[in-house]
């Protein structure tokens, strides 16, 4: 029954919208078709939710979001990555994803705190503390990429200051 109801709604919408597309210029036609696709995907998302197909509903909702807003939906952005126009992908790329902005650079005091060192630590102590912490918190060993990047940044800040 939900399929029949959804089909009738889609058919009525297509007939009503089709009248507005006759004789329209290409730009407004494209805009209208994009809105129509977003609307159809939204209706499909609602139908899938009623049928307890939540995983498929997330996919169709993402498509509707893209048609309405032209960007990737917010739930596709993984933790630790800056929002970008593209979809989520693992790893860091040269596009700047996963890097700390220059305005939020780590201070020397924060770097010492991250590595658990005291002021005046030499290069050998910095490298040893970094090695110990990165082994414990590396993403391949069950840690998070956020913590690993902070540990790496702390080492870079302290060694750069020498």
Q: Retrieve residue 70's tokens.
A: 């032209």
* Residue pair 80/144 in contact by the 8 Å Cβ criterion: yes
For the chain, the domains span 2-76, 103-160
Tens of pLDDT, residues 35-79 = 878 888 888 889 888 888 888 888 888 888 888 887 778 777 654
Residue 31 has pLDDT above 70, yes or no: yes
Residue 90 has pLDDT above 70, yes or no: no
* Residue pair 39/60 in contact by the 8 Å Cβ criterion: no
If you write DSSP's letter for every residue of 22-46 in order, what string do you get?
A: TT--HHHHHHHHHHHHHHHHHHHHH
Residue 130 has pLDDT above 80, yes or no: yes
Provide the pLDDT for residue 127: 92
Burial class (CB in 10 A: 0-12, 13-18, 19+), 114: buried
From CA 114, how far away is CA 3, in angstroms rounded? 56
HSE-CB at 27 with a 13 A cutoff on CA atoms is 0
Mean pLDDT of 13-30: 67
The model's confidence at residue 1, banded by pLDDT at 50, 70 and 90, is: low
Third-level CATH fold of 103-160: Helix Hairpins (1.10.287)
Residue 100 has pLDDT above 50, yes or no: no
Provide the pLDDT for residue 32: 74
Whole-model pTM?
0.38
Ranked by mean pLDDT, which of 11-15, 62-66, 155-159 comes out on top? 155-159
HSE-CB at 138 with a 13 A cutoff on CA atoms is 7
């Amino acid at each position: 029954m939900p399929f029949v109801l959804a089909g009738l709604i889609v058919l009525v919408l297509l007939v009503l919208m089709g009248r507005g597309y006759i004789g329209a210029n290409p730009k407004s036609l494209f805009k209208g078709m994009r809105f129509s696709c977003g609307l159809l995907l939204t209706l499909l998302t609602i139908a899938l939710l009623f049928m307890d197909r939540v995983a498929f509903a997330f996919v169709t909702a993402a498509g509707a979001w893209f048609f309405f807003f032209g960007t990737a939906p917010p739930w596709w952005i993984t933790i630790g990555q800056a929002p970008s126009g593209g979809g989520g992908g693992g790893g860091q790329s040269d596009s700047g994803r996963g890097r700390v902005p220059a305005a939020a650079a780590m201070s020397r005091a924060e770097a010492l705190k991250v590595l658990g060192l005291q002021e005046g630590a030499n290069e050998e102590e910095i490298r040893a503390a970094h090695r110990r912490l990165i082994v414990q918190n590396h993403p391949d060993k069950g840690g998070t990429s956020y913590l690993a990047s902070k540990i790496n940044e702390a080492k870079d800040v302290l060694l750069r200051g020498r």
